[in-house]
Amino acid sequence: MRAVTLLLAATLPLAAQQDGTVGLNAVPIYNDNAPDKQGPEVVVDVLENTPAAKEGIRNGDFIVAINGADVAGKTTGEMLHANLTGAVGGEVKLTLWRESEGRQFEAELTRLAYPLRPNPARDPFEFYSPANWRPEVDEFPLPWSPQISYRGSEDLVFAPGFDDKTAPNYHSYAFVWWL
């Protein structure tokens, strides 16, 4: 087997490269008492060497407010994407709750350019993609096409806005097959 190194960042439009991040992803928690059933956001991914990681934010921390505004009842797009991503150098103040320690704390973060995310270490090749692109890995033969005789893997990365028809990155993705 021969190792292949690819850098997929070159596929990004210039505008997307200028966006920044604080280095975390979060999803809303279901809240039966909220009118829209959306409660606080829980951190599900903290990227290494980012402002969020340096401030000690961890998976499982709850984001209760962003820049002083309560996140409960707001959609992820309204609160997170509008505040956690944006111009490099922009500042964001998060109020978080850490259940395991029973305490609330604040973190002041400055957006930085998206770092590159390496592909899974188990792959016999390496590639890097922007950390804001969503990764996915499928094994060959694909479950929906068992007649394919090839063995290996397909690594895909989907651009932000992949499924948004109004986004400049609509249906932008990259893939690497190792067969």
Position 7 confidence tier, pLDDT thresholds 50, 70, 90: very low
Residue from 85, 133, 73 nearest 113 by CA = 85
Per-residue pLDDT tens digits for 47-91: 888 899 999 999 999 998 999 988 877 766 666 667 777 888 999
Question: Tokens for 74?
Answer: 């707001």
How many distinct structural domains can be found in the chain?
A: 2
Domain boundary among 91, 110, 129: 110
Torsion sign, CA atoms 17, 20, 23, 26: negative
Q: Which residue has the higher pLDDT, 41 or 119?
A: 41
157 shares a domain with 92: no
Query: What integer is the mean pLDDT of 150-172?
Result: 82
92 shares a domain with 161: no
pTM of the model: 0.62
- Domain extent for 73: 23-110
167 shares a domain with 129: yes
Position 17 confidence tier, pLDDT thresholds 50, 70, 90: very low
Which CATH number do you get for residue 103? 2.30.42.10
Beta bridge pairs of residue 50: none
119 shares a domain with 56: no
146 shares a domain with 79: no
Contact in structure between 139 and 124 (CB atoms under 8 Å): no
Query: What integer is the mean pLDDT of 114-128?
Result: 76
Comparing 17-21, 106-110, 153-157, 166-170, the range with the smallest average pLDDT is 17-21
96 shares a domain with 138: no
To the nearest whole number, what is the mean pLDDT of the chain?
80
